[in-house]
Amino acid sequence: MEHEPVPVSKIKSDKDDGDNVKCIRGTITKLFPIKKGDGGSGPYEYQNGEFRDEAGDTIDVTFSKCSQPESAKGQLVTITSVKNDSHGWLGIKIADNTYEKEVEGVKKPVTKRILKIVPSAVINYANGAPAANGPAQTGGGAATQSRPAHTSQHPDLVLKDLIFLHSKCTDLVEQLYGGESGKTPEFRQAATASIFIQGCKEGLHYNFEERIKAPIPKQYPKPPADPKDWDACVVPKGEFEGKTLKELPDGKLRDLYTALKKSDSETPFAKCVYQAAKDRNVLEKPKPPTDPDLDPPEDDIPF
């Protein structure tokens, strides 16, 4: 079912929270650097910009965890929300941001209405998917690469990826809850729906079929906060990956110590290595042999 685009003028004057904004159409006139990092509620990633509808009215827009490439600027785009039986329309929301602005030397609260676009939105460009390899954007104090072309620009791909993700959610729920007493089919169905919706919000369905083929990255415990507990510190990569510092041979621990010192590393892992090397006395220079039988013969070949 195709929805009529909601004009920006109505969005700005409406008191609704966005459930009635099922579709917008216009041009992305501005795109700012991606911002990402770790906040109080976990990792975040967003990209601010400006959207202008076909009537010429503009409104600020934020792409939350669905950043668009620089080449999307100036292109005609249609953004549509997706209906979910449990949570209503997902994809486009109205948000009112309040901040302080200084007017004639006096700070006053100002409220600005924005459109928030989340990963569940379907984003279609009139001229096809914009190139994803545009100019690099930076934000949050570090360089970051734009997300690959949004799969929702290709309906067949996004539907396929959504089905793959839903199947994965169903399989995991059945594995964990299928044999538990009291976990009825209705409970498992609700659990699958909740996990699937959250997965879509987190953008897990992007290129899901390809990404799921990659090996699951190994995870190891974080290095102890106190370097004195170095014996439990796990080596995260290299020849002795997964081993603790306690299991490292003296020579390898010495090599690791030397390499980290050269790079002036002060990470929790490096501090554990320094403490381990000190406690195990691996930095002591080996004494020269005193047994003459072990000394190499002198070269007495005349020149």
Residues 15 and 130 grouped into a single domain: yes
What's the mean pLDDT in 5-32? 84
Residues 134 and 233 grouped into a single domain: no
What's the mean pLDDT in 20-24? 85
Nearest to 4 by CA among 57, 66, 81: 81
pLDDT at 142: 27
Residue 217 lies in a domain: no
Higher pLDDT, 30 or 145: 30
Count: domains in the chain: 3
Residues 132 and 59 grouped into a single domain: yes
pLDDT for residue 213 is more than 60: yes
**For the segment 236-280, what is each residue's pLDDT rounded down to a tens digit?**
888 888 899 999 999 999 999 998 988 888 999 999 999 999 999
Q: CA angle 1-125-142, nearest 5°?
A: 125
Residues 144 and 231 grouped into a single domain: no
Residues 27 and 119 grouped into a single domain: yes
**CB burial class (10 A; 0-12, 13-18, 19+) of residue 175?**
exposed
Residues 106 and 239 grouped into a single domain: no
Residue 122 lies in a domain: yes
**For the segment 157-201, what is each residue's pLDDT rounded down to a tens digit?**
778 888 889 999 999 999 888 877 778 888 989 999 999 998 887
Nearest to 83 by CA among 153, 13, 19, 166: 19
**Which of the listed residues 184, 211, 238 is the one where a domain comes to its end?**
211
Owning domain of residue 238:
227-279
Residues 48 and 140 grouped into a single domain: yes
In three-state secondary structure terms, 157 is: helix
pLDDT at 28: 95
pLDDT at 203: 75
Residue 293 lies in a domain: no
In three-state secondary structure terms, 37 is: strand
Residue 24 lies in a domain: yes
Residues 106 and 53 grouped into a single domain: yes
Higher pLDDT, 180 or 17: 180
Nearest to 122 by CA among 10, 29, 30, 206: 206
Residues 197 and 139 grouped into a single domain: no
Across the chain, mean pLDDT equals: 80
Residue 272 lies in a domain: yes
Residue 83 lies in a domain: yes
Residue 297 lies in a domain: no
pLDDT at 297: 46
Q: What CATH number does the domain containing 98 carry?
A: 2.40.50.140
Residues 139 and 165 grouped into a single domain: no
Residue 165 lies in a domain: yes
**CB burial class (10 A; 0-12, 13-18, 19+) of residue 222?**
exposed
pLDDT for residue 37 is more than 80: yes
Residues 92 and 172 grouped into a single domain: no
pLDDT at 139: 32
Residues 94 and 174 grouped into a single domain: no
